[in-house]
Chains A and B, each alone.
Chain A
Amino acid sequence: MFYREAGQFKTTYQDDQAVFPVLQDKAAVFLLILVAYAVPFVADEYWLQAIFIQFLVFALMAIGLNILMGYAGQVSLGTGAFAAVGAYACYKLTTNIEGMNIIVAILLSGGCAAAVGVVFGLPSLRIKGFYLAVATLAAQFFILWLFNKVGWFYNDNPSGTITAPPRELFGVLITGPSASPEARYIVCLTFLIVFAWFAKNLVRGRIGRNWMAIRDMDIAAEIIGIRPLQTKLLAFAISSFYCGVAGALMIFCWLGSAETEAFDLVNVSFRVLFMIIIGGLGSIGGSIMGAAFIILVPIFLTNFPPMVGLDISTALQKHLEEIIFGVMIVFFLIVEPEGFARLWQILREKLRKWPFPY
């Protein structure tokens, strides 16, 4: 009864279309955002660096992939490659052009990733489903090979790694080894909130509906006037943009430096895929929940056994992690293919009646 919507009638279409039509939801989200901004002042450095910032970066990537797979229905295993494009583009921009504003550089890198995404999305007009996954796999392997082989991408650095040069924003150092975790966290958080909002706006309007139409029945969609190639390529472009920005943030605000391994199939492409499956395909909020879940589980597995007195080797832990992930994915697909997002919806339905049974 605390979660009642009764009395919250919508008298205009505008109110009806709001993202959070229920007042309690709106309040909850504002509160969450406030708490999120407060986190760096209370959390310790380890948590910020190892968990929170990583979560923010991957949540952004998950939203990107969800736009492509969950909303537009195009299978992609190339998330890592597109993120890598963003990261390397940002690296080249900041090391080659003096005085470029870091935010501009990140956004431009997203643009580069979008362009690459469009190229590898071109086959999507003729092929669907996991056939398309092969095209994105081609992107994944080829792009990482390119970044490994062609010295220009990593400024012929003998170690092959790229390192984020220090950059400031409003006088505060936000990238590079001396930047504080708090500053980096705030940057990533802001990116996430802003772009999540953009994504939400896109998916609830004409563009989102076009994507979902293509996803659900592309032939019918074309017959009612939706142009398949443009719609699909737009999905690839925007999705890759998000992944590219996230990739740039990954190097500049989270890791500081990395090699192509950081963007490979298992570390990124599969991980993000799991995030959106478990979080819920076709849900922005679900992407964020899925990201949180996938990042927290290994932490939990590392810390839980010692807490109950069990001593597990890292190899064993890794295998257990794999098994648990696998089981969870199969479980979710069987029980709730729509993931956390749907579970959350069901929870809210129950909340409406709580504490009464019916």
Chain B
Amino acid sequence: MPDGPQTSTGRVIGDVIMQVENVSLSFGGVRALDNVSFDVREHEILAIIGPNGAGKSSMLNCINGFYHPQEGAITYKGKRRDTAKPYEAAEEGIARTFQNIALFKGMSTLDNIMTGRGLKMKKNLFWQALYYGPALKEELEHRAKAEEVIDFLEIEAIRKTPVGRLPYGLQKRVELGRALAAEPDLLLLDEPMAGMNHEEKEDMVRYILDVNDEYGTTIVLIEHDMSVVMDISDRVVVLDYGKKLAAGTPDEVKRNQDVIDAYLGVSHD
């Protein structure tokens, strides 16, 4: 029996790989995050929940380096995330999906997923211009990988469709595919199931659990659907008005009075 706590899929949770310490973020007069601290352990599924406007997306944006918090620090695998540039997050193995789908509307599903492979493709301008030869070989290699992702997410039929024409649920799936194509160590999902019907949600849950199971990808997920959160997450962090209300296992959080109050709308002084 391996020691250490286990995820819902039976995988062993490792050490802390990301630390969020006293992070505060403001826009003009609005305080989006207020002295938030928590950590993320390798291989776990961590859910960030909270009412709308609680600062959840802002938290992810800070991890990506898109917003730079005025106070505090975010450390991932020993390197500072909050002061880095967004593309460096990707280079470190962090991938992300967005609340309002951020797909490249002018490109097909396949091309979108291939952009996720972009960091791993190295052949320079000269070879690209010739195409035949090393660049083509590299392109085909990564095409094969992208097709694996397409397979996994069961979206073969729409691989050539421009994503702008896809229904919302499929777009969300393609976005997940683009994130997965990068073979990330840390996957940030911002409301991946928003706007989906029950079946689509079940599919997404399955994909997320499979990814965590097969590849050991650490997952941080923002989600509103409580049943999903309670079911699949190993730990939960609750934010409200930018502050951290609680953190712990789903059961612990469910019973926390502050959390209950926040969701029921009882005001705090």
Q: Is any CB of A less than 8 Å from a CB of B in the complex? A: yes
User: Which of A198, A221, A224, A226 gathers the greatest number of chain B CB atoms within 10 Å?
Assistant: A224
> Known: A198-B129, A201-B129, A223-B90. Contact between A17 and B139, CB under 8 A?
yes
CB distance from A180 to the nearest CB of B (A): 31
A201–B139 CA distance with the chains assembled, in angstroms: 12
The dominant DSSP class at the B interface is helix
Question: In the complex, what's the smallest C-beta–C-beta distance from A16 to chain B, in angstroms?
Answer: 8
From the candidates B90, B105, B130, name the one contacting A224 in the complex (CB within 8 A).
Answer: B90
Q: Are B129 and A202 in contact (CB under 8 A)?
A: yes
Task: Give min CB distance, B257 to chain A, whole Å.
Answer: 37
- Assess the A210–B115 pair: CB atoms within 8 A: yes
Tell me the nearest residue of chain A to B92, going by C-beta: A225
Q: List CB contacts (< 8 Å) of A277-292 with chain B.
A: 282
B interface residues, tally (CB under 8 Å): 40
Tell whether, in the assembled complex, residue A226 and residue B118 are in contact, meaning their CB atoms are under 8 Å apart.
Answer: yes
A9: interface (CB < 8 Å) = no
Query: Hey, which chain B residues are within 8 Å of A215, CB to CB?
Result: 104, 106
Q: Are A216 and B107 in contact (CB under 8 A)?
A: yes
The interface residues of chain A lying within 8 Å CB-to-CB of B121 are: 206
The reply to whether B104 and A217 contact each other, CB–CB distance below 8 Å, is yes
A353 is an interface residue with CB less than 8 A from chain B: no
Residues in A whose Cβ lies below 8 Å from that of B96: 223-224
Give the nearest-CB partner of B130 in chain A: A201
> Are A213 and B119 CB-contacts (below 8 A) given A13-B144, A14-B140?
no
The answer to whether A206 touches B118 (Cβ under 8 A) is yes
Q: How far is the CB of B112 from chain A (nearest CB, A)?
A: 8
Please provide the chain B residues from 133 to 148 with a CB less than 8 Å away from any CB of chain A in the complex: 135-136, 139-140, 143-144, 147
- Complex interface residues of chain A between 175 and 218 (CB less than 8 A to chain B): 198, 201-202, 204-207, 209-210, 212-213, 215-217
Contacts of A198 in B (CB 8 A): 129-130
**B125 to A224, Cβ gap below 8 A?**
no
Instruction: List residues of chain B with CB within 8 A of the CB of A220.
Output: 98, 102-104
For A202, what are the chain B residues with a Cβ–Cβ distance below 8 Å?
125, 128-129
Contact in complex: A205, B104 (CB < 8 Å): no
The answer to whether the Cβ of A348 comes within 8 Å of any Cβ in the partner chain is no
CB interface residues, A 102-129, toward B, < 8 Å: none
8 contacts between A and B (CB under 8 A): A13-B144, A198-B129, A212-B111, A215-B106, A220-B102, A220-B103, A225-B182, A234-B125
5 tightest A-B CB contacts, nearest first: A225-B90, A220-B102, A201-B131, A216-B104, A225-B119
Seen from chain A, the residues whose Cβ lies within 8 Å of a Cβ on chain B are 13-14, 17, 198, 201-202, 204-207, 209-210, 212-213, 215-217, 219-228, 234, 282
Known: A17-B140, A207-B128, A225-B118. 13 other contacts (CB 8 A): A13-B143, A14-B136, A17-B143, A206-B121, A206-B128, A206-B139, A209-B114, A217-B104, A219-B102, A221-B115, A223-B102, A225-B90, A225-B182
